[in-house]
Amino acid sequence: MSKKINRRDFIKTGTVTGLAATMSRNIRLFGKDDRKVRLGFLGLGNQGTSLLKMCLSMEDVEVLALSEINNEKLRNAQDLVEKSGRKRPEGYPGEEDYQKLVTRDDLDGVFVATPWLWHTPMTVATMRAGKYCAPEVWGASSIQECWDLIEAYEETGMPCMMLENHCYDRSNMAVLKMVREGLFGELIHGECGYCHDLRGIKFNPGVQFGPGARGEAEWRTYHSINRNGDLYPTHGLGPIANCFDIDRSNRMVTLTSTATKSRSLQEYIINQVGRDHPNAKIKFKLGDIVTTVIKCQNGETIMINHDTNLPRPYSNIYVIQGTKGIWMEHRALVNAIYLDGKSPEEHKWEPFDKYYPEYEHPLWQNFLNEGVRGGHGGAGYLKSRAFVECVKRKIPTPIDVYDTAAWIAVSPLSEESIAKGSAPVEFPDFTRGMWMKNKPIFGLTGEY
């Protein structure tokens, strides 16, 4: 597994064991054969437990090993597995135990749902141990992190699939189908973002964060204190990157980022506990809004918004615009489309829902037929299932290490641009030029 390979070799020779080129396209979405997928989990907080539950709903999944430093959370997770009728999985409570877990010889794949700073070392360790790895979404802390992932993949051939659920959103998949069928003409511009009032996540309970705080307040808040950039770009960028064929005949070339002042987190603290509380003295580096504009090799632009401090309803924005039309979504507010020469009235929006009957993605057609389930409107299930399905078939995952690296690279690049007064900064080419030859891999079938 130490031989350097590239993705094309992986696909061509099927380095792992199965052969993508000869795999059956007839297996249904939720495979009914006898093969079992043997999984381990690193991190069993809210997100890890949610992933675990979805996997436990799959009959072809065995859960053999769980790693979590909080003993109560670990026990709860072990209980969940047992209650599902499976054998109680082995628990790994030590901080460095993930090394032991990933080197077990009875696992096929590992989910990673730990704090962001652990994603890369754990994912690299998993790949180097010869297993498929599915890290939850994050933004990189450095460009070196991205290269670490790339190198681990290229040396082992083991797939790394960041679990970007929004790639699996129903509307995003339908839009991707429409893009590929040319309904928007030549793509020109995209917009997206992560607009999510996280004040109650960054501080919980009250204005607490760090050791002893609840959930992500234990660790996520430090990023807002110490970093100024788009810390969480992939919920927006992932689906847009799929539409724009990023690293598959196109690539992101440069970006500029601009941050506002930071006001809202401090105001949130002061409003609750007054100016004299020690947390009210913290100077948060993270600007309340960070706006990033990416220029692509083929001449398109992508605007990404990062907005996690201010009070507002959730949105991932989502605009796809081409020479023949435009689609715009703000969750729970608007989902509209205009197609030149196809929309019945000139210059007038249509509800996007009208297009589902004709442009539902096959994966969602199957999912709707078989019953939508799981978190995030079903997308959380689909992403987990896609990973399990690929592990089972021993085929490349539909989001790969190059997608993962390029998308999470936005964080350190935006930090660099902001630090340099919004100067343009260049994306590394993680594909080493292969973007010119690589073909799209996401959303190609109705099966995963």
Interface residues toward a second copy, by CB under 8 A: 185-186, 188-189, 197, 254, 256, 258-261, 263-264, 267, 287-289, 291, 293, 295, 298-301, 303, 307, 310-314, 321-326, 328, 330, 332-334, 336, 338-340, 347-349, 421-424
Q: With respect to a second copy, which residue has the nearer C-beta, 184 or 448? A: 184
Distance between the two ends of the chain, CA-based, in angstroms? Answer: 26
Q: With respect to a second copy, which residue has the nearer C-beta, 291 or 384? A: 291
- Min separation Cβ 176 and a second copy, Å: 20
| Cα distance between residue 266 and residue 250, in whole Å | 41
Nearest by Cα to 126 from 139, 113, 138, 141: 113
- Min separation Cβ 268 and a second copy, Å: 9
Spell out a b/e string for 19-39, using b for 16 or more CB atoms within 10 Å of the CB, else e: ebeeeeeebebbbeeeeebbb
Q: Which two tokens stand for residue 207?
A: 């204005």
- Min separation Cβ 318 and a second copy, Å: 13
Phi first, then psi, for residue 333 (nearest 5°) are -135, -55
Q: Which two tokens stand for residue 101?
A: 């877990």
User: Is-contact 422 255, C-beta < 8 A?
Assistant: no
Q: With respect to a second copy, which residue has the nearer C-beta, 147 or 349? A: 349
User: Is-contact 127 116, C-beta < 8 A?
Assistant: no
Q: With respect to a second copy, which residue has the nearer C-beta, 289 or 405? A: 289
User: Quick one: CA torsion of 142, 144, 149, 150, rounded to 10 degrees?
Assistant: 130
- Min separation Cβ 314 and a second copy, Å: 6
Pairing of strands 334-339, 350-351: antiparallel
Nearest by Cα to 42 from 103, 107, 112: 112
Q: With respect to a second copy, which residue has the nearer C-beta, 57 or 258? A: 258
Nearest by Cα to 306 from 319, 287, 294, 290: 290
Q: With respect to a second copy, which residue has the nearer C-beta, 210 or 313? A: 313
Q: Which two tokens stand for residue 214?
A: 């609840």
| Cα distance between residue 91 and residue 41, in whole Å | 10
- Min separation Cβ 266 and a second copy, Å: 10
Residue type present at position 48: G
- Min separation Cβ 167 and a second copy, Å: 23
Pairing of strands 290-296, 252-259: antiparallel
Q: With respect to a second copy, which residue has the nearer C-beta, 181 or 186? A: 186
- Min separation Cβ 103 and a second copy, Å: 43
Q: With respect to a second copy, which residue has the nearer C-beta, 251 or 383? A: 251
- Min separation Cβ 244 and a second copy, Å: 11
